[in-house]
Amino acid sequence: MYLWSCGPLYLVYLWFTGQGGISLTSLCCAKTVLGLCLVSFGFLEVFYVLVERSAEIHQHMVFLLSPVIRSLTMLLAVCVIQWERMKGCRSSVLLFLFWTLTVVCSLVPLRANTQQIIEEGFFTDAMRFIAFFVYFSLQLTQLILSCFSDQRPSTDTHTYKKNPCPVEDASFLSKMLFWWFGGLVIRGYRTPLQAEDLWCLREEDSSDCIIADLEKDWARECSKLQQKECSLSGCRPTGPKLTEQTQLLKKLRQEQNSGFCLFRVLARSFGPFFLKGILFLIFHDIFMFSIPQVLSLLLGFMRDQDSDLWKGFMFALLLFLLSSLQSLFNHQYMYSCFTVGMRVKTAVMGLVYRKSLVISSAARQSCTVGEIVNLVSADTQKLMDMVVYFNAVWVAPIEIALCLFFLWQRLGPSALAGIATVILIFPLNGFIAKMRSKLQEVQMRYTDSRIKLMNEILSGIKILKFYAWEQAFLERVLGYREKELNALKRSQVLYSISIASFNSSSFLIAFAMFGVYVLIDDKNILDAQKVFVSMALINILKTPLSQLPFAMSTTMQAIVSLRRLGKFLCQDELKPDDVDREPYSPDGDGVVIDSGTFGWSKEGPPCLMRINVRVKKGSLVAVVGHVGSGKSSLLSAMLGETEKRSGHVSVKGSVAYVPQQAWIQNATLKDNIVFGQERKESWYHRVVEACALLPDLEILPAGDGTEIGEKGLNLSGGQKQRVSLARAVYRKADVYLLDDPLSAVDAHVGQHIFERVFGPKGLLKDQSRVLVTHGLSFLPQADLILVMVEGEITEMGSYLELMARDGAFAEFIRLFAGNERKERSHRGTRKSVSRLSMTDFSIDLSQEQLISGDRMSSASIQTMEAISDTEDQEQEDLGKLTEADKANTGRVKLEMYVEYFRTIGLALIIPIVFLYAFQQAASLAYNYWLSVWADDPIINGTQIDTDLKLGVFGALGFAQGVSIFGTTVAISLGGIIASRHLHLDLLNNVLRSPMAFFEVTPSGNLLNRFSKEVDAIDCMIPDGLKMMLGYLFKLLEVCIIVLVAMPFAGVILLPLTLLYAFIQSFYVATSCQLRRLEAVSRSPIYTHFNETVQGASVIRAFSEQERFILQANGRIDHNQTAYFPRFVATRWLAVNLEFLGNLLVLSAATLAVMGRDTLSPGIVGLAVSHSLQVTGILSWIVRSWTDVENNIVSVERVKEYADTPKEAPWTIEGSMLPLAWPTHGTIELEEYGLQYRKGLDWALKGISLSIQEKEKVGIVGRTGAGKSSLALGIFRILEAAKGEIYIDGINIAQIGLHELRSRITIIPQDPVLFSGSLRMNLDPFDGYSDEEVWRALELSHLKSFVSGLPDKLNHECSEGGENLSLGQRQLVCLARALLRKTKILVLDEATAAVDLETDNLIQSTIRTQFDDCTVLTIAHRLNTIMDYTRVIVMDRGLITEMDSPSNLISERGQFYLMCREAGLV
């Protein structure tokens, strides 16, 4: 019947879903041959019946019809086998179930025939017995063969994979039981798993497959949403301005709409697969509700002494089968949910990444890197959780209703008391869920702020160390952390109330129902059948009741996350049509802007007005103007990065862009230059030579194969700018937009680059070039000069035309070119110093001079080729800088648990254990009390002392409820205490690490610790501990009950326990390693996101979005290859463990049947109903145990940085350092030597030097001379390798770092600002009055700018100070120095990003305001140090010359040559 009814539908299904034919394999042949044998056996039986039993056929046609139908059914089975082969079906569900049913149905005649052989002998009917056993053997063989999968269809376009996922080739049974996963578990048990052991991701789970259609769907939804909002905005009356409240409501509605749109898109993409999971859930529920009915039959059998024994065994077997099927379908459902969750994570990460590449500049201000990282870490996790638990929101009420219906059948109207209890519990938990949702929003807001601040701290760590600001920022982070933990604490207390009410719900319902039942009528008897079937139903009821608050909470959290994601994904994007991108043509202009007005946002004031520019093909256009005049904004307008208000912009051909602040990837130098293009050796060498990078390649350990740290950490400012320029030149673009690329390079290098790259004979001579510059000497060679003032072009023309007009430009040139009159017209004016960097190889390793001008010969290019050709593995290792996040191996060390529990404290752990023991003792007591009550004798149709029994039952249950609340609150508080300590330790360890640590540790690794790992310690570990301890004590209770009821069960419990330990040891080893591998592969995703967001404008300018999207996809897929086996491991474990639990059910039920003469129904009901819970308990124990062990890895990862090298102490207790130190500002170096790392050359070689108070000393030298190393040594960023430095006679090595760094000041090369108020950026400790701050701003020429801001000193600086120009940021750094006014000031390229006029003002401020200070200037423009008392010339870590500037010039040494190069002599 089964095959005939399902077969036709199945054949039609295959017709529509066929995947191509499978060639005739040995498996298929075997199945077909066996099928035909079964058909022939059927026909032989027909022949036998016709010959031997013809007389009986007339009376009973069934003798003839039965073999005919059986033969035809077998024939149909053979046809199905062949049809499946033709349609590419590799493993048949239909036939597996068919052969299972045929074997099960044959068991009855098998038993009958066996019994007959035993009783009558084999030879009484030998032929029939042989035929039956052969037939049965063939059926059994078919069943075994149907457990295997056939080969792939011949038309399958399956690409070869190195390590394909075995699920793709698994059979139906293997998929159901997760046998296909066993190989990885065994491998993980033998040796710790490595990344290469993991399977490739299935095609349907890969980013490419998931995001392709989803992205288009989301774009359609977004456009619909925008049209809807436009229509709503359009139909509103244009009255007075919207009130603040109305605007807020509008904003909230937009967030809700965008969140709902995202949900709809995800539902359309993943809904069908999710519905398949729901089907499994429905089957699971059917089997789950069948179990209490069978238990009722078993207890009925126990009461009826006359029942046949076989019925009892049948009920026991039925309990086992139903429990096993329930388990299988439950885990198939969970597998489906986790698979969908994984795909949702991939989809959301992909959408967020793509959005971050197109988000507008205005929207970017409100979405920091930290927030974006939080979206892809915390919020995607919330969506994954929702996928798993969302069904409980609607299934749980249905399950509750079914439970109450079956309870009504048992207890009649008394079941209404249970309904009333449920109705009372629901509103309470609904209210709690709502409050927790609000608290979660608050917590997430503080988490976002904390991660954002941590990201900024990690980005600007060098500045924090120079200024000794770590403590101020540490306190800011801890302020956010404390608010975050307070919100979490309140949320956890509410959650404890929710857990207590739900965990006590089974008792409350039982108490209400049994109480009403016995009180309304004395004749109502509580026997074992009523009590324990009701308790089994209430235990079923407990699952949906406990899942519901979690599901509601998870759903509420997911709704918040959907809104956050929707809000981000609906942010304004850059409009591609703002700039007309036209194909290259040799005629016409390269860039045209007609009547352009541009702004950084829709609402704010325009940043550029009335712009009219035409850049002719092959021309060089220079853009000049003061700081903040709109030069960079003009280039942004040409790139389409700004909001176009009016006008027209067109660009012909491809574009290359060099930003003002070089964006360098964490990749090799070669990869940074080539930037995704094919490497052409000859062109590559020409570009490297033209950009003056050849000497750097000789310096770097592995040449152009050297890995560059995040944000170019191990390159100097000049090197970064040259690499950024080389990337643009290598591109061979048609239009070049160059934002002050020569600001950070030496004068002679600048000249070399101008001649070889931008100039009339340079590599780019035929391209259109727009060059923003502060260098006046390049202007005569420009074809067109644009003079910008406050966002407008005030003058335009060639150099000669502008000078002839005698306007503002000509006056400016005459005023500020005084120092350059002696210069040749083609000489540059800038001298730069390398950025202070721990591993700045260009500083400490250089033995080479830059080859400048026309002296660059072909020999140099040959040297370059030799470097490339000799690169080998050793060189690659030498060039390696950053350390990838590593995964530890093996089980988590016991010390991690000890560390975690030590932070909680013994004072809290002892009460927790005591409360758990008390909670379970109360549970055991009230359950045992029920069994005693159920066995109570019935006297005159009633039971005695029901009131007393009910009272004791109620008291025990109430005690359990109170202790549940106590345990959950205690664990939550303990978790928060531990989390607070561990986060504080992590923060202290990171902030006290030396600069070398930050240069080799990617910020993604550190951000991962502060976001994902801290989140796991906050929530996951306490939740896992609650669950694990609760179920461990529950298991103990069940074992005690079963052993008390049936002592013989100990024989079964012992091997089951050993098996359990065996399976668990297999699982935990693999699971922990998978968790580590998943965590390690997550860090590169965040690092890549971080890098992309910061370099988005460069990526867009070079049209490299697709390549970066592919890289992001690769990183996400790599992470999912570890995540997929991780959640399958849990399913594999659960299926195996629950099978052990079901064996306990079978043994308990069988022992009960065998001992029905001695066991009372009450004790049997207690034992069997509790053994039914073991299945879930065992699974949950290992799952929660594994969750704890997996998440304790977070403690391990957070503690990782405890053992890394640390800086010297910030302060030294009992320090006798005078408060006013240094009072004079004298500096003495005695045989001072410095090394960047052991084994490297000396950066400073035994320098002895004495600098007197108020002395002004200039430090000059070629790249790599050791100038910046000297500054690093004075600030103890690097500790001395030999010798000492004395300031005012005190050895700086003997005082605290903060005592040193806070008493001396540096104005660094890179002006770094942090998000927060302008005042905070100047004075984070609030140590100065507003008057002093305004005075510092006035002296740094920022007072007029700050006064013009709406919030004055409280003006909010965006992340990295992006809402200020680079020059303004440099002036803020000057203001910091003026505010501190210490006796020693170090200047390191402090005026690199400002125009000449501002530079002149800064120099005059330094001369007047720091007149009574000792000033060390690492010289940029040599003319700024010509009036200094002394100049130190350094070369290869030694002082080669030292005297007054005039004396050094007269000596005609190295300093004289440098002055001559700069045109000063």
Whole-number Å distance between alpha carbons of 970 and 83: 62
pLDDT at site 553? 77
pLDDT at site 48? 67
Whole-number Å distance between alpha carbons of 1251 and 1286: 10
pLDDT at site 816? 60
pLDDT at site 844? 31
- Pick from 435, 431, 447, 551: nearest CA to 490: 435
- pLDDT above 60 (res 885): no
* pLDDT, tens only, 141-200: 888 888 877 777 766 555 556 778 888 778 878 888 888 888 888 888 888 888 888 888
- pLDDT above 50 (res 738): yes
- pLDDT above 70 (res 837): no
Q: How far is CA 878 from CA 168, 708, 871, in A?
A: 42, 12, 10
pLDDT at site 852? 28
Between residues 873 and 417, which one has the greater pLDDT?
A: 417
Percent of the residues in the chain that have a pLDDT greater than 70, as a whole number: 88
- Scan for tokens 């026997």, then name that residue: 527
Cβ atoms within 10 Å, residue 889: 14
- Pick from 350, 433, 344, 329: nearest CA to 387: 344
Between residues 404 and 325, which one has the greater pLDDT?
A: 325
Question: How many Cα atoms within 13 Å fall on the side-chain side of residue 4?
Answer: 8
Whole-number Å distance between alpha carbons of 1322 and 1299: 19
* pLDDT, tens only, 97-153: 887 888 888 887 888 888 888 877 777 777 778 888 888 888 888 888 888 777 777
What letter would DSSP give residue 1285? E
What letter would DSSP give residue 359? B
- pLDDT above 70 (res 49): no
Residues 1395, 1368 contacting (CB under 8 angstroms): no
Please compute the mean of the pLDDT values over residues 976-997 and round it to a whole number. 88
3-state SS string over 153-172? CCCCCCCCCCCCCHHHHCCH
pLDDT at site 820? 43
- Pick from 35, 146, 47, 150: nearest CA to 90: 150
pLDDT at site 943? 66
DSSP 792-845: EEEEEE-HHHHHHHTSHHHHHHHHH-GGGTTS-TT-----------TT-HHHHS
Whole-number Å distance between alpha carbons of 1363 and 1357: 6
What is the chain's Cα-based Rg?
40
Please compute the mean of the pLDDT values over residues 645-666 and round it to a whole number. 88
Tokens for 1433, please give them: 């010339």
Please compute the mean of the pLDDT values over residues 44-59 and round it to a whole number. 64
**Sheet strand arrangement including 1430-1435:** 1305-1307, 1384-1388, 1414-1418, 1256-1261, 1430-1435, 1438-1443
What letter would DSSP give residue 759? S
Tokens for 915, please give them: 């409360």
Residues 517, 414 contacting (CB under 8 angstroms): yes
Instruction: Report the range of poorest mean pLDDT among 639-643, 701-705, 1091-1095, 1137-1141.
Output: 701-705
Residues 280, 333 contacting (CB under 8 angstroms): yes
What letter would DSSP give residue 1412? T
Residues 803, 810 contacting (CB under 8 angstroms): yes
Helix axis angle for 1105-1154 and 1161-1199, nearest 10°, is 150
* pLDDT, tens only, 558-609: 888 888 888 888 888 888 888 888 888 777 788 899 888 988 887 778 888 8
* pLDDT, tens only, 9-47: 767 766 766 666 777 777 778 888 888 888 887 777 777
Cβ atoms within 10 Å, residue 145: 18
Residues 509, 1362 contacting (CB under 8 angstroms): no
pLDDT at site 282? 92
Tokens for 231, please give them: 């229509």
- pLDDT above 70 (res 1368): yes
- What is the chain's length? 1465
* pLDDT, tens only, 1303-1356: 888 888 778 888 888 888 888 888 888 888 888 888 888 888 888 888 888 888
Range with top average pLDDT, 876-885, 1096-1105, 1360-1369: 1096-1105
Please compute the mean of the pLDDT values over residues 1043-1069 and round it to a whole number. 80
- pLDDT above 80 (res 1058): yes
Please compute the mean of the pLDDT values over residues 334-343 and round it to a whole number. 90
- Pick from 279, 379, 387: nearest CA to 338: 387
- pLDDT above 60 (res 853): no
Between residues 287 and 1200, which one has the greater pLDDT?
A: 287
Please compute the mean of the pLDDT values over residues 499-505 and round it to a whole number. 79
Residues 1032, 1171 contacting (CB under 8 angstroms): no
- pLDDT above 50 (res 870): no
- Binned at pLDDT 50, 70 and 90, residue 656 comes out as very high
Whole-number Å distance between alpha carbons of 746 and 227: 54
- pLDDT above 70 (res 294): yes
What letter would DSSP give residue 1424? G
3-state secondary structure of 193: coil
Tokens for 583, please give them: 């194909």
pLDDT at site 401? 86
Longest pairwise C-alpha distance within the chain: 138
- pLDDT above 80 (res 1179): no
Q: Which amino acid is at 481?
A: R
Whole-number Å distance between alpha carbons of 923 and 1030: 12
Residues 302, 1164 contacting (CB under 8 angstroms): yes
- pLDDT above 80 (res 1249): yes
For the chain, the average pLDDT equals: 80
DSSP 1342-1391: -HHHHHTSTTGGGPEE-GGGTTS-HHHHHHHHHHHHHHH--SEEEEESTT
- Binned at pLDDT 50, 70 and 90, residue 287 comes out as very high
* pLDDT, tens only, 223-243: 777 777 666 555 444 444 445
Please compute the mean of the pLDDT values over residues 1104-1120 and round it to a whole number. 90
pLDDT at site 843? 30
Cβ atoms within 10 Å, residue 715: 28
Q: Which residues contact 715 (CB under 8 A, 6 or more apart)?
A: 664, 708, 723, 835, 837, 840, 842
* pLDDT, tens only, 888-943: 555 566 777 888 888 888 888 888 888 888 888 888 887 788 887 777 777 666 66
Q: Which amino acid is at 177?
A: L
What predicted TM-score, i.e. pTM, was given to this entire model? 0.72
Whole-number Å distance between alpha carbons of 103 and 80: 19
Q: Which residues contact 831 (CB under 8 A, 6 or more apart)?
A: 746, 747, 1260, 1419, 1420, 1421, 1422, 1462
- pLDDT above 70 (res 52): no
